[in-house]
Structure 1
């Protein structure tokens, strides 16, 4: 029996690889003779580099950057091949991610994406002329302006004073200049890996949808949305791109819009990219059974998330597929057409904080998958 394990990370608890190992241990206890293969997955957001770093043809390249509050940190971007070309994959969450901040440090009006720009600059300095920017997991809502500052854009307030790289440059900006940008930018192909479809501003835009989870209160959300509208006008004046009309421009606090306008980039599906680079379809063909999962399965899982992407491929090849998750949302019925079964890993009545402790998540993942496969093998 060949079993493919292709999970996303259980955010806040387990990486995709750790979740995969826990699932494999549970399966092996129930079906010792099974041939098990773990392929960690991601959707183009947080954890994408970790998933793709498992590929033998890729390597990690260290870089010194700043976190969302401009504190120095050491990270790595991924060097790989994409569509036959040497490519650098930079991950927003590595330098500008919400998980880099303590709960009481979250502030959408203070955090920025300068560190992401530093990642891109490091890749350009290293000679890469194709850069994939993995969006998602951002702590900021700066419309991508911090990223642009790190790449040489000059931002000015209403008094024509240059805006400092510290803090969120979105609120004070009135104008900007690209006369001193990195010389390689216009010779580089930029791709944004994302499956977010939100617009740049408005009720479904970056501020109203994403800023509250990044520490913004109601008044700050309104201020940020107004500032995003101003930034959108600047992008249109300078680059003739209406970012509000670009699907997914609100991704990662407006990073999607900055990539589309200032970097003249294009958006690709994050999950489709990871499926391609991991060779997942061949693994699915090999498998007799597929299991996937993520931290929370709900209606949002339909929009480019790993479990549904894996399930679609499994169904294409007529393979049974189940999903497990730390949490099942109330919209779970919408997912039934993709899976043969959907299960929570919770084996005890625990608080979210207790359940998300890595050792607890490993134990519950292992026990749940063991029981599922004991049941499955009854008919084998």
Structure 2
């Protein structure tokens, strides 16, 4: 029996690699003779670089609060050409801030721009930016500042590179932009389709998760509306009509408008970069999963992307998750089975302990494979 294990990370608990290895250990206990391949996956958020092979190029940039931090970019081949893969979460991620530090009113994406600039300086003319996990809601303006854009307030004073420039921007200039920007193809890998502003936009949907209160959410949304008009005037792009422009606090919109980039499905890109389809053809059984599965998983999350590919090749596919939402029935058409790994009555903190998560993944995978391989089933 050939078994493909292709999970996303169990956020806040296990990396995709660790989750895959835990599942594989359980499989080996139930089916020692099985051939198992673990392929860690990502959907364009944090962990995308870790899901791919290669040696990241390390560099020092600024975090969301403009403190020095180590980040990287990964040199890869994409569609037959060299490309630099940059992970937004490495420089602008929520995981970089403590609970007390989290506030999209103070955070920016300047460090992401520094990551991109380093790749441009090293000669790359194709840059893939994985969005997701950001601590920011600056409409991508910090990123643009690092790439040479000049931002001005209503008094024509240049806005400094600290705090959230979205809150006071009135005009912008790209006269001093990095010369390689206009020669470069930019792709934004994302797992969300939200618009730039409005009730489903970057501020209302995501800013509360990053520390914003109701008043701040309203203020951020109003500023995003203004920025959308600036982008329209400067680049002729209506970011509100661009699917995924609200990703990562509006980064998607800045990439689409100012950088002339394209927003693509993160999971589909990772599937392509990992060559997963060949592994899918080889497999008899596919196991995927992530920390939480619910109706929102339909919007570009790893397990559903894996399931769609599995069904395309008529493979049995099972999903494991730390949490199952009340609307899990929305996922039933994609999977042959969806299972929670919770084997004990635990608090959230206890359940997310890495040792506990490994044990529960291990046990659940073992029991499922014992059932799967009983007489009368496949295998």
| Alpha-carbon distance between aligned partners in 2 of 1:376 and 1:261, rounded to the nearest angstrom | 50
Which residue is 2:272 aligned to?
276
1:320 corresponds to which of 311, 316, 322: 316
Any residues of structure 2 matched to 1:273-352 within 5 Å, and which? 273-352=269-348
2:136 corresponds to 1:126? no
Shift of 1:336: 0.6
1:64 corresponds to which of 60, 64, 85: 60
Look up the SS of the partner of 1:300 in the other structure.
helix
| Alpha-carbon distance between aligned partners in 2 of 1:257 and 1:284, rounded to the nearest angstrom | 34
| Alpha-carbon distance between aligned partners in 1 of 2:145 and 2:67, rounded to the nearest angstrom | 16
Which residue is 1:252 aligned to?
248
Shift of 1:241: 1.0
1:215 corresponds to which of 200, 206, 211: 211
| Alpha-carbon distance between aligned partners in 2 of 1:105 and 1:46, rounded to the nearest angstrom | 19
2:50 corresponds to 1:50? yes
| Alpha-carbon distance between aligned partners in 2 of 1:148 and 1:354, rounded to the nearest angstrom | 41
Look up the SS of the partner of 2:167 in the other structure.
coil
| Alpha-carbon distance between aligned partners in 1 of 2:355 and 2:114, rounded to the nearest angstrom | 35
| Alpha-carbon distance between aligned partners in 2 of 1:142 and 1:149, rounded to the nearest angstrom | 11
Task: Check whether the contact 2:92–2:111 (CA below 8 A) recurs between aligned residues.
Answer: yes
Look up the SS of the partner of 1:22 in the other structure.
helix
Any residues of structure 2 matched to 1:17-56 within 5 Å, and which? 17-52=17-52, 55=53
2:12 corresponds to 1:16? no
| Alpha-carbon distance between aligned partners in 1 of 2:239 and 2:264, rounded to the nearest angstrom | 16
Look up the SS of the partner of 2:177 in the other structure.
coil
| TM-score normalised by L of structure 1 | 0.98
| Alpha-carbon distance between aligned partners in 2 of 1:313 and 1:249, rounded to the nearest angstrom | 26
| Alpha-carbon distance between aligned partners in 2 of 1:295 and 1:195, rounded to the nearest angstrom | 15
| Alpha-carbon distance between aligned partners in 2 of 1:177 and 1:92, rounded to the nearest angstrom | 24
Shift of 1:20: 0.3
- After TM superposition, the runs of 4+ consecutive aligned structure 1 residues lying more than 4 A away are none
Which residue is 2:2 aligned to?
2
Task: Check whether the contact 2:292–2:321 (CA below 8 A) recurs between aligned residues.
Answer: yes
1:205 corresponds to which of 191, 195, 201: 201
Look up the SS of the partner of 2:133 in the other structure.
coil
2:262 corresponds to 1:266? yes
Moved more, 155-164 or 2-11: 155-164
1:74-97 deviation digits (Å, cap 9, x = unpaired): 112110000011000001111101
Unaligned 5+ segments in structure 1 are none
Look up the SS of the partner of 1:170 in the other structure.
helix
Task: Check whether the contact 1:26–1:368 (CA below 8 A) recurs between aligned residues.
Answer: yes
2:75 corresponds to 1:85? no
Task: Check whether the contact 1:59–1:80 (CA below 8 A) recurs between aligned residues.
Answer: no
Which residue is 2:180 aligned to?
184
| Alpha-carbon distance between aligned partners in 2 of 1:266 and 1:321, rounded to the nearest angstrom | 31
| Alpha-carbon distance between aligned partners in 2 of 1:100 and 1:351, rounded to the nearest angstrom | 24
| Alpha-carbon distance between aligned partners in 2 of 1:172 and 1:255, rounded to the nearest angstrom | 17
Unaligned 5+ segments in structure 2 are none
Number of equivalenced pairs: 376
Look up the SS of the partner of 1:73 in the other structure.
strand
Look up the SS of the partner of 2:18 in the other structure.
helix
| TM-score normalised by L of structure 2 | 0.98
| Alpha-carbon distance between aligned partners in 2 of 1:189 and 1:378, rounded to the nearest angstrom | 51
| Alpha-carbon distance between aligned partners in 2 of 1:196 and 1:323, rounded to the nearest angstrom | 21
